[in-house]
Every structure is written in C-alpha cells, then in structure tokens.
Structure 1
C-alpha cells in the first residue's frame, strides 16, 4: 500500500476507535474522500482493508457500515496474537538466529533508534515505524520455521486490531504517541536480546507483553460503549 493509502487507512482506524465514526454509521467513498482531502482510490483500498480487519461491513448496495466492536473481541484477538508471536520468538531463540536474520533484525532496531532518539515523532516518522515494525515481526515469524503460526495469524488478522499492521495513530497527540511507540521499540530491543542470547522463555514472555500494549484499543472501545450507554440513559430521562 502506498504511503498516502496507509495514512488514510490509519486515519479511518483512528476515527472508528475514537467514535468519530460511530458503530452502525454508513460510510461511502466520495464523502469520505472529501472529508480527508484525498482521492477516492486510497479510500477505496482502505475500506477493503478495514473490511478484512473486521471494522467495516460491506453493504449489499454501495458503501460500508461501521461494525460494532466489543472490547472483549479486541482483547481476545490481541491475546491470541501474543500467544502465537510469543511462540515464534521462543522457537527462534531455541533454533538460533542466522547471520542474515540477525542483521535484518538489527537493521530494524537501528532505523527505529534513528526515529526516536531525537525525542519526538512526526506523522512521517510513525509511517516509517509502521513499516519497520511490520518487518521486525515478520522476520521473527518467518524465522521460527513453523508454518502453522503463519496460518493461525492470518486467520486471526480478520478480527479487529489483531494484526500487527493495524496501527491507529492519534495525530492530535503526537507527544503521547511518541511515548507509546518508543516504548514499543524498546520492547523490540528486549525481545531481540532474548532471542540473540537463546533465552526462549524470556523471548516468549516479552513478545506476549509486547502484543498487550495494543490493548489500549479495547479500553477505547469500552469507553465508547460506556458513553453510548450514558447517552441512552440521558435520552430515557429526558423522555
């Protein structure tokens, strides 16, 4: 996906989890493209991706509808991802890194250091982090040499925020996003260290904890549900 397409996809994810696009709301290409100031093509691609992620439902007629997502659904999918990626990290630690695998992981770490060492991040930095984060995880999964992990992850990725690529960036709070993503990058350093030292149990534990950092999305959906309940109760009182 192009950088423009990735930015649209991330923006729409953030609009869904923030409640700006509410559950049940219908979304269409033209008004969404106008709202985001982009062409229809990246919006069309983003809609398809969000459908695959379980955040949008394709309508029989044209357009999509925002799918209602429960906090339990998000946390459950993330927990499964953590288990699978933790297993991959343990297997790789026990198997041992090849020189090429070690260099590829180190390259991701160096690139991440360059993004975060300056003490702040821009939107462009986080787009770069999205790519290197995906690459770091992909190397570990592929290097585990367990195809069942790949198959299970592919199935799980059809659930909301289960994919490592399902990052939502709050562009109105880049200071907070710097803290969140720089911490995630430090976890990359820790899991690499465990794998490189052959410490399988430690690598597995860190990778599972790393996935749990995404649970903030479950908390946001929980907050949305509470707000919706309060609005319904207010409506009942007024009536």
Structure 2
C-alpha cells in the first residue's frame, strides 16, 4: 500500500537526501532527529523508514533502527534495466492472455487518476501522492495479471533494490513546467501501453514497457549530470522519467 500524507512526504524527502548525498552510506536514520528536521511526528518517519528498508535504501543498524545502505549508480541502473525486462515480459503475457473486464477497469481507473493528477498543472504534494499511488497500482495490476508467479516474485525482488521500484521518487532537473512535461510524457506511455494490452499486441506492449524503464535510466544520468536537487518540489517519479 503506497504511503500518503506526511509519511509519503517523509519518504520522498529521505529518498532525495540519500540520492543527492545529504545522507551518506552508513549514516544513522534516527526517528527523533528526522522528525525534528522534517517538522512532523515520529509515526510518519517510522513508516517512511520501513518503506526505505523495503526499497533497499536502508538496512538495520547495530543496536536498533536503520542506517543508509551503500549502493552505486551502476547498481541502480542495472536494477531499473532488469525491471524493464521483467515488466516487458509481464506486459507481453497479459496481451497474449487477453485483458479481462476487471483488469481493463483497473487499468483505466489508474489512467484516469493519473490524468486528474496531471490536469492540475502543478506537482505539489497532493499531485505527487495521487500520481505515485496511480503508478504503483497500474504497474502492480499488470504484473499480477501476467499470471506467472515466478515472474511476479522476480519483479518484487528487483523492486527491493535502490530506486528500482515503480513508485520511487527522486529529484529531477529543470523548471517546474519541464518536470510536469516529463510526467505528462510518461503518463502518455501508460496510455499507449494499456492500448497495446487491450489490442492483444504482445510485442508492442513488451517494447513499450521496456522503453518506459529505459527512459528512467536516461533520466538518472540526466539528474547526475545536472547536479541539481531541490527537494520535494523538484521530485518526479524516477521510474517514469524521461530524458
């Protein structure tokens, strides 16, 4: 279940601090100092730290609590590439099996939610919450509908690697309108993917899912080259970002 409200904001901000090096490998993630720094209670911090562990960004620390896990850019890049391969396989299987009415309803509900989040024209906390929840739901629906248990387990394992999850948010360079255009383009890919699934176009669906992940890898390099990190207002969905 995606985090919302203050817990989601805490998770996004902590991801950004890890990604930009403000929190470094081995740094302790203590609830009280983080709650004070982010201006919120310990409960959303606790939920965010648990989510960071699930995403492979935090590890248990000696004596309790968590610490930032060490990882490399290559590890992130490889993990996202692998997720693209696996989700491409899932998309092909769904297209070949046929999209049921129930799945079609779930996919179109997700598309509508993404459209509504982007229609506001600003990427504030509410819009990011809505888009992130939509993105997670859409990717999960496709993986589940593939009907392949080993594949689902493989996708889940990859999503436990740093920044490889479909719901991960990271800083993006550029102005606010540019960031909005990036997400709009990414969501257009969602529409094209659902269109291919419902048309039974397995090869096209697989290619679109892989391209979706390849865009994320290009955006990672763009972010690193820019050196820009602006916090929550500059965050977009890494798994959906484009160069």
TM-score range, shorter chain: 0.7 to 0.9
Looking at structure 2, the residues matched to 205 and 18 of structure 1 have their Cα atoms a distance apart, in angstroms, of: 31
- Residue 12 of structure 1 deviates from its aligned partner by 0.5
SS at match of 1:19: coil
Q: 1:61–1:170: structure 2 CA closer, same or farther, 3 Å change rule?
A: farther
SS at match of 1:75: helix
Q: Deviations over 1:201-233 (max 9, x none)?
A: 110010011122332346656888xxxxxxxxx
CA contact 2:79–2:164 (8 Å) conserved in 1: yes
Q: 1:88–1:132: structure 2 CA closer, same or farther, 3 Å change rule?
A: same
User: What residue ranges of structure 2 are gaps of 5+ in the alignment?
Assistant: 228-243
1:131-210 matches, within 5 Å, as 131-168=133-170, 174-210=176-212
- Residue 25 of structure 1 deviates from its aligned partner by 2.6
- Residue 162 of structure 1 deviates from its aligned partner by 1.7
CA contact 1:70–1:222 (8 Å) conserved in 2: no
Please name the residue that 2:114 is paired with: 112
Please name the residue that 2:232 is paired with: none
- Residue 142 of structure 1 deviates from its aligned partner by 1.1
User: What residue ranges of structure 1 are gaps of 5+ in the alignment?
Assistant: 225-239
The two structures have a TM-score, normalised by structure 1, of: 0.85
Q: 1:5–1:155: structure 2 CA closer, same or farther, 3 Å change rule?
A: same
Aligned residues: 224
Looking at structure 2, the residues matched to 75 and 132 of structure 1 have their Cα atoms a distance apart, in angstroms, of: 23
Q: Which has the higher helix share?
A: 1
SS at match of 1:65: strand
Q: Deviations over 1:150-177 (max 9, x none)?
A: 1111222221012112223569954343
- Residue 10 of structure 1 deviates from its aligned partner by 1.1
Q: How large is the Cα RMSD of the aligned pairs? A: 2.3
Looking at structure 1, the residues matched to 130 and 102 of structure 2 have their Cα atoms a distance apart, in angstroms, of: 22
Equivalent of residue 129 in structure 2, options 127, 130, 133: 127
1:73-92 matches, within 5 Å, as 73-92=75-94
Q: Deviations over 1:30-49 (max 9, x none)?
A: 11110000111111221122
Is 1:66 the equivalent of 2:71?
Answer: no
Q: 1:197–1:219: structure 2 CA closer, same or farther, 3 Å change rule?
A: same
SS at match of 2:169: coil
The two structures have a TM-score, normalised by structure 2, of: 0.83
SS at match of 1:168: strand
- Residue 2 of structure 1 deviates from its aligned partner by 3.9
